[in-house]
Amino acid sequence: MTDGFDLAVVGAGINGAGIARDAALRGLRVVVFDKNDMCSGCSAVSSRLIHGGLRYLEYGEIPLVYESLHERRCLRLTAPHLVEPLRICIPIYEGARRGPFLIRLGMIAYDLLSLRKTVPNHEILSSGAVRNAEPGLETQGLKGAARYYDGQVTFAERLVLENLLAARSAGAAIRTHCEVTRIEVDGGAVSGVVFEDQEGVERRVAVEAVVNAAGPWVDRVLAAAPTATTRLIGGTKGSHIVVGKFEGAPRDAFYVEAEADGRPFFIIPWNGQYLIGTTDIRYDGDMDRVRASEAEIDYLLSETNRVFPQAGLSRRDIHYAYAGVRPLPFKEEGPESAITRRHVIRANEDVAAGLISIVGGKLTTYRNLAEQTIDELARLQRLKLPKCRTRETGLPGAWGIDRARDALVGLGLLSERGVQRLLGVYGGRAAAIAELCRNEGDLARTLDRAGTVLAAEVPFALREEVARTLTDVVFRRMMVGFDADQGRRMYEDIAALAAVETGWSPAHKTQQLTELEDYAGSLRAG
């Protein structure tokens, strides 16, 4: 940290992680800062889809759909362990805003824009075929359905992490739980950043450039510079609820037009549960305390019960809920849905040379955004950089998946579901967890009766995956925090393993458990 860096990336969400990876692979000295853990903001509260944005066709954003569909293909090739095909059904009802002709037209355009794709083309189903395939679906007024494929990233957190791990392997420094409090400018150009570390100590590092990829907090980061600028972010809030399997639940994901306001929303099989969302509401509240409102929860429950009348879902059926703010361009008037989802790479030359801010962006298109950002940085800084390599380069977990499967099975500890879980979370990197079990016998055990979670995952998260807190480990490394019970049955065991690994005192261990329980509780609906 004393030698300085070519680039500081502020924000360790999907955009910041992708930018750090691209920059480091091109030979830049990179440091990444986030005031919390990686993927603890906007990137963690999406619908967890890698998709072309079918709805964006309605607003004429054809270039964005084209970009998204091609990035979907790229991610299926470079992160096959994290991104899987997802079949989605759009039921067509009498009186809906989007009739059969419009939906068919959209499907054809979607297929045409995704040439060389890795998933099948769409198909149109008769009402009888839909009823046979999905007997729990509301049949009154049902005219048929369209069925197509997109992609799903079950754990967006792992996609962010693997980009950061790739950046670190290429020389980047990762500083999570470190908030940038000041951007220093000398002679009209960025000269350094001041940050507060996890212990509350203020430190400075020299940098040549800053990319502000803080998502909804972009304007807050810009406020740390000595010169004010215009407001960039005018985010909208999106909320999701997660429920267990319900009566008449669909086999496929469903993309449905809400009766209340005509806005499409998803009902998605996800992580052994169902993910339902999202909403789209202007938001100007506290960015650090975004919660699903009662009205949003009631809206999602009511619309799901309408489409699947046997469901009878109520608040007590919700396992947890989450909400976040989309970092969209500031726009005072007009409907939320009409605000562009295209990203903007803004050179903040009115503040300082070498300062770039990212406005917007999608989980699906982060890689291309990162490539464009580093290309723009090279142009502004007059740097001669190699070409981007991320389009074809697999993420760390994409390698050695078969070897990892053999290593996990060879332990004789995991159920088949457990083997699949570890491969779905870690990909080929799960082989290193199996190695930990073999080398450190006290870690060679499971933490659950179903035989799906290994004790060795805890030290692995702390040693190899830049986890700092118990919440980091449970919710953004092992991913057991998103089980139906939020992994609560394992909290004590995980805390004990983490305390041994880190040397936490009994008091600090208790504090970490309290913070974990508080975080899990904050996701409870109502």
Q: What are phi and psi of 225, to 5 degrees?
A: -85, 160
Q: Band of the pLDDT at 519, cuts 50, 70, 90?
A: very high
Q: What span, in angstroms and rounded, lies between the C-alpha atoms of 170 and 36?
A: 23
Q: What are phi and psi of 403, to 5 degrees?
A: -65, -40
Residue 371 has pLDDT above 80, yes or no: yes
Q: What span, in angstroms and rounded, lies between the C-alpha atoms of 124 and 296?
A: 31
Q: Band of the pLDDT at 311, cuts 50, 70, 90?
A: very high
pLDDT at 336: 61
- Percent of the chain whose predicted confidence (pLDDT) is above 90: 83
Task: Provide the number of structural domains found in the chain.
Answer: 3
pLDDT at 329: 83
Report yes or no on 61 lying in a domain.
no
Token code pair at residue 67? 């970009």
Q: What is the mean pLDDT of residues 100-106?
A: 87
Q: Are residues 139 and 247 in the same domain?
A: yes
Q: What angle do CA 146, 151, 156 make, to 5 degrees?
A: 140
Q: What is the mean pLDDT of residues 67-84?
A: 95
Q: Are residues 241 and 320 in the same domain?
A: yes
CA neighbor of 176 nearest in space, from 458, 477, 422, 520 = 477
Distances (CA, A) of 505 to 20, 229, 451, 464, 493: 34, 45, 29, 22, 15
Report yes or no on 56 lying in a domain.
no
Who wins on pLDDT, 340 or 181? 181
Domain ranges, residue 244: 80-151+235-334
Please say which residue of 320, 349, 381 terminates a domain. Answer: 381
Please say which residue of 304, 334, 364 terminates a domain. Answer: 334
Residue 526 has pLDDT above 60, yes or no: no
pLDDT at 333: 64
pLDDT at 357: 97
Q: Are residues 223 and 259 in the same domain?
A: no
DSSP state, 325?
E
Report yes or no on 216 lying in a domain.
yes
Q: Band of the pLDDT at 19, cuts 50, 70, 90?
A: very high
Report yes or no on 73 lying in a domain.
no
Please say which residue of 334, 351, 370 terminates a domain. Answer: 334
Can you give 114-156 as a three-state secondary structure string? Answer: CCCCCCCCCEEEEHHHHHHHCCCCCCCCEEEEEEEEEEEECCH
CATH code assigned at 505: 1.10.8.870
CATH code assigned at 164: 3.50.50.60
Q: What is the mean pLDDT of residues 11-37?
A: 98
Q: Are residues 432 and 291 in the same domain?
A: no
pLDDT at 334: 63
Report yes or no on 388 lying in a domain.
no
Q: Are residues 223 and 255 in the same domain?
A: no
Residue 51 has pLDDT above 70, yes or no: yes
Distances (CA, A) of 5 to 77, 100, 173, 429: 32, 55, 9, 29
CATH code assigned at 85: 3.30.9.10
pLDDT digits (tens, 9 = 90+) for 415-460: 999 999 999 999 999 999 999 999 999 999 999 999 999 999 999 9
Residue ranges of alpha helices (H) inside 230-318 are 294-307
Q: Furthest-apart CA pair in the chain: how many Å? A: 71
Q: Are residues 518 and 417 in the same domain?
A: yes
Q: Are residues 136 and 187 in the same domain?
A: no
Report yes or no on 387 lying in a domain.
no
Q: Are residues 408 and 485 in the same domain?
A: yes
Q: What is the mean pLDDT of residues 173-188?
A: 97
Please state the pTM of the whole predicted model.
0.95
Burial class of 422 by CB neighbour count within 10 A (0 to 12, 13 to 18, 19+): buried
Q: Are residues 33 and 170 in the same domain?
A: yes
Q: Are residues 218 and 124 in the same domain?
A: no
pLDDT at 368: 97
pLDDT at 235: 78
Residue 316 has pLDDT above 60, yes or no: yes
Which range has the top average pLDDT, 104-108, 232-236, 239-243? Answer: 239-243
Q: Are residues 130 and 179 in the same domain?
A: no
Report yes or no on 39 lying in a domain.
yes
Report yes or no on 444 lying in a domain.
yes
Q: What span, in angstroms and rounded, lies between the C-alpha atoms of 152 and 429?
A: 20
DSSP-based three-state secondary structure for 184: strand
- Residue whose entry in the numeric block shows the structure tokens 């040397």: 503
pLDDT at 485: 96
Q: Are residues 140 and 161 in the same domain?
A: no
CA neighbor of 105 nearest in space, from 92, 88, 118, 95 = 92
Q: Band of the pLDDT at 307, cuts 50, 70, 90?
A: very high
